[in-house]
Structure 1
Amino acid sequence: MGTSWSARIVDAPEGSTEAIEAVLNRVIAQMSNWEADSAISRFNTAPVGQWMALPAEMLTVLRAGLDMARLSGGAFDPAVGRLVAQWGFGPGGLTGLTEAPNHPSPWTAIEVEGNRARRTADVTLDFSGIAKGFAVDAVAAVLRDLGATHFLIEIGGELRGRGVKPDLQPWWVDVEAPPGLPLPTLRIALCGLSVATSGDYRRFREEDGARLSHSIDPITGAPIANDVASVTVLHDSAMLADAWATAITVLGPDRGMTLATRHGIAACLIRRAEGSGQEYMTPALTAMLE
């Protein structure tokens, strides 16, 4: 998945490390675009129109991604892989640049029926905006099954906390402002909650003096250009926090935060504004911090 993971577990049950690694290996085998033999890679190279049976976990993520696509008007799109590759943020990097097919809404070219799915046009799945969150939830589930009641899981900056630390303090997490922006650190307590952050400072490249974010707007077919530096979302589900953070990032301060507010999502958006940062919070997050 191109990132690291960590787990802080109070009185860790025997076999915790092995169980976590098994979950992560399974997610990679199903949803990593960087693995040629993964289920998602095989789906993306199957002939257009051909049905393919998918693993249950991959289907869960795909269905959630399609639901978020419908909810966000396509701002979150689990079939944006061709565009990601076109801008050099896919497995091939800059050497993998290709001309993406002109499809106005890639997610609408994905059909799901029972335990199988197919592409109806030459689009490709990319779960980079949702799979890490799913993996966090899956690790938390396996730890609960083993009997763990107090832990903090982190995968690539997405976190989920349950219970408390040995000193009975909650799992405090600091969400730092994007580098170079003079804003206070947001401190949150993860008690049965997950947090995910999408930012333009993690994966980007400079081209002709412009910062190209890895977050692609499926509507324009190009990296976002709305000055959004980061979006942080708190949610019961790390998978949905991950997806919401991506959707809000693409939609921007006005449409994104309006949509999040309408659905009661706890979110914080930071926009770059003339060398400083402008912070927006939804009512749900403001209420949590009071």
Structure 2
Amino acid sequence: MRIAVPNSIASAAARPRGGREVRLSGPTMGVSWTVRVLAPDGASDAEIRAAVQSAVDGVVAQMSDWEPESDLSRFNRAPAGSWVRAPADLVDVVQAGVFLATLSEGAFDPTIGALTELWGFGPAGPVAEAPERAALTAACAGWRGLQVDVAGGRLYQPGGLRLDLSGIAKGFGVDRASAALSGLGLRDHLLEIGGELRGEGVKGSGEPWWVDVEPPPGSALEPLRVAAHGLSVATSGDWRRGFEADGRRYSHTLDPRTRAPVDAALAAVTVIHRECMQADALCTALMVLGADAMTFAERHEVAALIVRRSGKGFVEEVTPALQALLD
């Protein structure tokens, strides 16, 4: 078992804390949120549940393409050549997506909504076969056509562009819910939404919140455990969602540059970052980058575990930033 531990944990008092551990869950984003909180006397379960649910409901209301009345859906329907007013959180997340798109040269792209729909991973539901190349080519997508006015709180719709923030919004939801708990004075908690996690503080025993990284099915790789003390952990794996057609399996992770699912060479990526939004988005970018994932992660000091298929087994690459947490 390998253990990843942040330097900050050395300054944390590893001694028992008072309070009771509360475990709660609820629905969001087609999955569920779960939380473990070390709650002091006087903090009710109802108050904790309401804080988390309100935070994630706010993200859905702004960023879900499955909700017709969300701010994102309103932008997707806006006429060509229009500036669309948007709440601050949506603007910030889109801006973060555009920044990563620039950094990754399009491996991450927040404007692939039309492509997601064509491949059967959008609100319209699954498809029985791969879309025609002509339809993919004609689909409006491309982050360069999107303009973000942060100061003015608006987004520019060039015409037919459809945002899809599924590669970043869950992580942002985790960050928002964590901030809501901290705002209640609940400094010790572990939050998860659909496999994206963020830990703050410690458990009642004084130990950190431990997160075990999920390996690809059938792998015999050495387990990795993360001390989620002021850290977030996100994992993307190509086995989790997809469809089969004509004897081939298609991953749910799309390469915006080829307008098709990524190949099967990269099995999984785990990213450790202070912000869950960043961990979530970087996972997606690295999955798309494939053979270039390690080079990108090293250049930008991303703490990542990259798992590749090799013959009938798996090999892994540990970035220097992650190795520093293991040493």
Q: Normalized against structure 2, the TM-score is what?
A: 0.85
State the SS of the aligned residue for 1:177.
coil
* 1:198-213 matched pairs, under 5 angstroms: 198-213=236-251
1:75 counterpart residue number: 107
1:222 counterpart residue number: 260
1:112 counterpart residue number: 148
Classify 1:227/1:209 alpha carbon distance in 2 versus 1 (closer, same or farther; 3 Å).
Answer: same
Contact 2:141–2:162 (CA under 8 A) maintained in structure 1: no
1:158 counterpart residue number: 196
Residues 1:22 and 2:54 are matched in the alignment: yes
Contact 1:74–1:105 (CA under 8 A) maintained in structure 2: no
State the SS of the aligned residue for 1:140.
helix
Residues 1:11 and 2:36 are matched in the alignment: no
2:208 counterpart residue number: 170
Please tell me the residue identity of whatever aligns with 1:199. G
Residues 1:190 and 2:228 are matched in the alignment: yes
1:131 counterpart residue number: 169
Please tell me the residue identity of whatever aligns with 2:39. D
Residues 1:273 and 2:301 are matched in the alignment: no
Residues 1:58 and 2:99 are matched in the alignment: no
- Larger Rg, first or second structure (1 or 2): 2
**Cα deviation digits, residues 150-170 of structure 1 (max 9, x gap):** 100000000000111111111
- CA distance in 1 between partners of 2:273 and 2:200 (Å): 13
Contact 2:140–2:161 (CA under 8 A) maintained in structure 1: no
- CA distance in 1 between partners of 2:256 and 2:159 (Å): 15
- Following superposition, the deviation at residue 256 of structure 1 comes to 1.4
- Following superposition, the deviation at residue 127 of structure 1 comes to 0.3
**Cα deviation digits, residues 161-196 of structure 1 (max 9, x gap):** 011111111111111211122222211110000011
Classify 1:170/1:148 alpha carbon distance in 2 versus 1 (closer, same or farther; 3 Å).
Answer: same
1:89 counterpart residue number: 121
- CA distance in 2 between partners of 1:138 and 1:16 (Å): 14
Aligned pair count reads 289
- Following superposition, the deviation at residue 102 of structure 1 comes to 3.6
- CA distance in 2 between partners of 1:45 and 1:105 (Å): 14
> Which has the bigger relative contact order, CA under 8 A and spacing at least 6?
2
Contact 1:196–1:232 (CA under 8 A) maintained in structure 2: yes
Structure 2 gaps, min length 5: 1-28
**Cα deviation digits, residues 50-92 of structure 1 (max 9, x gap):** 1110011111100000000000000000001111111111111
- CA distance in 2 between partners of 1:105 and 1:217 (Å): 12
Structure 1 gaps, min length 5: none
Contact 1:174–1:185 (CA under 8 A) maintained in structure 2: yes
Seq. identity, %:
48
Q: CA RMSD in A?
A: 1.7
1:146 to 170, 175, 184: 184
Classify 1:95/1:215 alpha carbon distance in 2 versus 1 (closer, same or farther; 3 Å).
Answer: closer
- CA distance in 2 between partners of 1:152 and 1:2 (Å): 20
Deviates more, 1:7-16 or 1:34-43: 7-16
State the SS of the aligned residue for 1:51.
strand
Please tell me the residue identity of whatever aligns with 1:222. A
- Runs of 4+ in structure 1 off by over 6 angstroms are none
Residues 1:32 and 2:32 are matched in the alignment: no
Q: Normalized against structure 1, the TM-score is what?
A: 0.95
- CA distance in 2 between partners of 1:76 and 1:103 (Å): 17
Deviates more, 1:161-170 or 1:105-114: 105-114
